[in-house]
Structure 1
Amino acid sequence: MIKTMKALVRREFWENRGSFVKTPIIVGIVLLILTLGAYITTLVLSKKTGSDEILKDGVLELASIESGKLGIFWDMQVLSSSTLYFMILFFIIFFYLLGSLFDDRKDQSILFWKSLPVSDALTVSSKLLTALLFAPLVFMGIYVIVFFAEMVLFSIILMIHGLNPIKLVWIPMNYFATFKLLFLGIVAKMLWGLPVYGWLMFSSAVSKRRPFLFAVLIPLLVSAIWYWINVLTFKFTDWSMFKEPLRYLSHGLFPYASTDWKGEKFRFEIEDGSTINAITDGMINSMLGTKIVYGAIFFVVFFTLSIWIRRYRNTI
């Protein structure tokens, strides 16, 4: 069974390697080009104006930051760039799962896979495992490489201007906290996104024509009907039907967006000097709530339905 699952996951990954591998590489190249382009633009403007004020306000300002705050500066660099990667990853997983079961019926490849001694449950599980675990690990692994490349680029720029990159870049960086942040980000994204992923797979399995429209319009229609019923009972400000789905969606999209369950907004409290540690504590607290359990139950129901529908539906 384990060997079969490995083969199925390998197939899924190979068929979607463009999305899972090429996309984060392209995004990383674009980020590096933008960083280099911003530096070159600063040099050109400084040369044309005959003043180095622009350069001082840009690259050289890093040297004026207090040593205790340099770690916070690099924390924010990690948070901003990894948030972009997590956001792009969410949309890639979104469309991957949306077509995971529909495309097999559309191109009739489902008939070939059903002829093999592999159960529908194992096939559907391999698609889910690819989306939940392997795609995020590869995506964020590439992100780590890209971020280290950006640190090297920063180091080269600083050395050009006679600054010490070891002191300004490599020592202040909190490596353990960064890896912990990315790992917990993957876990939080997986747990909060479970109901979304379950619904997407169900939409892919049940839809005959347009799985995207089914996945989006049905929840909107149900929410609209629910709100209309509330209006009839004079509950004009009851937005609960929208609030909970948006909570799972937003936390799956931005795993760093954490809220405690006492109703208070999460705050950045940098008691130990690390913004990243504050964020990771917030993510852990958010994952310990009962909302995760409710989302998991919703996921199990629709994931089971997806397997059952695939078993009896071979064409669109």
Structure 2
Amino acid sequence: MKAFIALVHREYIEHRGAFFIAPLILVGVVFVLTLLAFSVHRIDSRFSGQLLTVVPTWVFVAGFAGLATGWMVYLGFTLFFYCADGFAADKRNNAMLFWKSMPVSDLKVLTSKLVAALTVLPGSIFAVALLSILIMFGVAYVTTMIAGLGSVTLLGSIALIFAQMALVFLVVLACALLWYLPYMALVGAMATAVGRWAIPLAVLLPTILSVLEWVTLGGLHPFATATWRFLDYRSQFPVSFDYLERVWDGTEQFDAGTFLADFLGKFDWTQVGFGALFAIAAIVLAAEYRKRGAIT
């Protein structure tokens, strides 16, 4: 178990630039730009403070949701390139013979990479994301104080919104990782065989599969097949917007428990299970390839 934890830690050390340092620098740059915007009067603190006081709940919930969505998009791109690059790193940097000499199986090495992609690497992004949102909330509250509209009640409401939205963010992020697990495993497995060529292949693979079905079974065109419809469904994160639309319309107050109950109740857990089985099969096959013929 200690060896496996060390392998996961190795993945974090080797890729912390993209998953921790770069996001942290980005947060610092945005914070400095925000301070400059207020200091040179590019933003009217009195107007923004009044706006935050008139609709405080909506502004903070929407702001948290917007930033969290942006960070999840960033995480999606970095995980895609991590799987395409990290699974082939040992072969590319001539470290394969070293790992072959260690009492660590190929399956354990590849599994550690996938576990890192599901835990410590997105965990770093999550921590930085919360820091960035906390800074945003702090700037917003200071703005209300400058406008003479800050209060202990407003501060308590902001803290409650942050706690609720952080819980929502964590649950949605975990579900997103489980939903896209088969994609990560597939890209990583292909990278084990073809290295960085897994990036264009992962983009072309859905089209190739759909065209093959169209050629063999027929259809209106290559993008009107059962394969394409299934891949399109699996590519879109299943989020129910019924409750959120009521919140945005102002007909209902946002409540984390209500949202999570609605979200988790409508989540396609059957597809998550099938995706997990596919991911396991892909990693096992990639480990067999790495063990039998990956050294070049």
User: Fold-level match, TM-score > 0.5?
Assistant: yes
Give the superposition deviation at 1:204: 0.8
Q: Distance in 1 between matches of 2:202 and 2:36?
A: 40
Give the superposition deviation at 1:233: 4.4
Give the superposition deviation at 1:237: 7.7
Q: Indicate the residue corresponding to 2:199 in structure 1.
A: 212
1:293 to 2:279 alignment:
no
CA contact (8 A) 2:86 2:113 kept: yes
Q: Of residues 88, 95, 107 in structure 1, which corresponds to 2:74?
A: 88
CA contact (8 A) 2:60 2:137 kept: no
| Unaligned segments of structure 2, at least 5 residues | none
Q: Indicate the residue corresponding to 1:127 in structure 2.
A: 113
Q: Indicate the residue corresponding to 2:9 in structure 1.
A: 10
Q: Of residues 218, 229, 233 in structure 2, which corresponds to 1:243?
A: 229
Q: Distance in 1 between matches of 2:95 and 2:87?
A: 10
Give the superposition deviation at 1:228: 4.5
- SS of aligned partner of 1:117: coil
Percent identity reads 21
| Structure 1 pair 14–155 and aligned structure 2 pair: CA distance change class (3 A) | same
Superposed CA deviations along residues 236-295 of structure 1, whole A, max 9, x for unmatched, are 8834322322333332xxxxx514xxxxx6442347611655543343134353222222
| Structure 1 pair 167–31 and aligned structure 2 pair: CA distance change class (3 A) | farther
Q: Indicate the residue corresponding to 1:62 in structure 2.
A: 52
One-letter amino acid of the counterpart of residue 61, structure 2: D
CA contact (8 A) 1:227 1:241 kept: no
Q: Indicate the residue corresponding to 2:65 in structure 1.
A: 79
| Structure 1 pair 160–224 and aligned structure 2 pair: CA distance change class (3 A) | same
One-letter amino acid of the counterpart of residue 49, structure 2: V
Runs of 4+ in 1 over 6 A off after TM superposition: none
Q: Indicate the residue corresponding to 1:51 in structure 2.
A: none
Q: Distance in 1 between matches of 2:228 and 2:83?
A: 23
| Unaligned segments of structure 1, at least 5 residues | 46-53, 252-256, 260-264
Q: Which moved more, 1:286-295 or 1:128-137?
A: 286-295
- SS of aligned partner of 2:79: helix
| Structure 1 pair 228–8 and aligned structure 2 pair: CA distance change class (3 A) | same
Q: Indicate the residue corresponding to 1:189 in structure 2.
A: 176
Q: Indicate the residue corresponding to 1:262 in structure 2.
A: none
One-letter amino acid of the counterpart of residue 225, structure 1: L
Give the superposition deviation at 1:304: 1.5
Q: Distance in 2 between matches of 1:56 and 1:137?
A: 37
Give the superposition deviation at 1:96: 0.8
- SS of aligned partner of 2:49: coil
Query: What does 1:24-39 align with in structure 2 at a 5 Å threshold?
Result: 24-39=23-38
Give the superposition deviation at 1:152: 1.9
Query: What does 1:166-315 align with in structure 2 at a 5 Å threshold?
Result: 166-172=152-158, 173-207=160-194, 210-229=197-216, 232-234=218-220, 238-251=224-237, 257-259=238-240, 266-268=242-244, 269-270=246-247, 273-274=253-254, 276-277=256-257, 279-315=259-295
Q: Distance in 1 between matches of 2:215 and 2:103?
A: 49
1:161 to 2:147 alignment:
yes
- SS of aligned partner of 2:279: helix
Superposed CA deviations along residues 139-192 of structure 1, whole A, max 9, x for unmatched, are 111211222122222222222222215333442442442232122122111210
| Structure 1 pair 287–313 and aligned structure 2 pair: CA distance change class (3 A) | farther
| Structure 1 pair 203–44 and aligned structure 2 pair: CA distance change class (3 A) | closer
Q: Of residues 85, 101, 105 in structure 1, which corresponds to 2:87?
A: 101
TM-score normalized with structure 1 length: 0.81
1:146 to 2:132 alignment:
yes
| Structure 1 pair 238–209 and aligned structure 2 pair: CA distance change class (3 A) | closer
- SS of aligned partner of 2:102: coil
- SS of aligned partner of 2:236: helix
Count of matched residue pairs: 291
Q: Which moved more, 1:298-307 or 1:271-280?
A: 271-280
| Structure 1 pair 89–165 and aligned structure 2 pair: CA distance change class (3 A) | farther
Give the superposition deviation at 1:212: 1.3
Q: Distance in 1 between matches of 2:132 and 2:143?
A: 17
TM-score normalized with structure 2 length: 0.86
Q: Of residues 99, 104, 111 in structure 1, which corresponds to 2:97?
A: 111
Q: Distance in 2 between matches of 1:243 and 1:266?
A: 23
CA contact (8 A) 2:107 2:283 kept: no
| Structure 1 pair 236–33 and aligned structure 2 pair: CA distance change class (3 A) | same
